[in-house]
Amino acid sequence: MIIGFSIGAVAFFAMLAANPGTLFTVIGVPVFALLSGYSILLYTYVKSAYPATMTGRALSVYTMAMFLGVAVMQWLTGAVASASAGWGVPTFAAVFGTVALMLAAGTAAFAWLPRAGDADAA
């Protein structure tokens, strides 16, 4: 479910990068905002991946990683927005394309990492 919604987010930002028009943007952004609530499932995933004695620390590390990810994404998209004029690429296309690529990379990493509970099964 997490991977499926993340792939949907990648597709959404790729569409925004292609500049689909005002109607898609006006309707799509609020719909995406509602659907992006799937990210709360990651907290449940982290909680289930660690023993009860480590749950608090695991959730704290995950929360810090989320904030670091937000900071890196803001810095990177700001740098891309600044450089996009020199590349001859529309600013929003460059930024939304970068977000799509970063989400795709994160989704791929999540998909290829060992699953919670895999160690218990082995």
Residue 75 makes CB contacts below 8 A (sequence gap 6+) with none
Helix axes 55-87, 41-49, angle to 10 degrees: 130
Question: Which of these, 67, 79, 65, 56, lies nearest to 109 by C-alpha position?
Answer: 65
What pLDDT, on a 0 to 100 scale, did the predictor assign at position 117?
Answer: 66
- Domain segments of the chain as ranges: 2-116
Interval 24-79: pLDDT, tens: 999 999 999 998 888 889 999 988 888 999 999 999 999 999 999 999 999 999 99
Q: Indicate the pTM of the whole model.
A: 0.85
Give the pLDDT band (50/70/90) at residue 122: very low
Answer yes or no: is pLDDT of 121 > 60: no
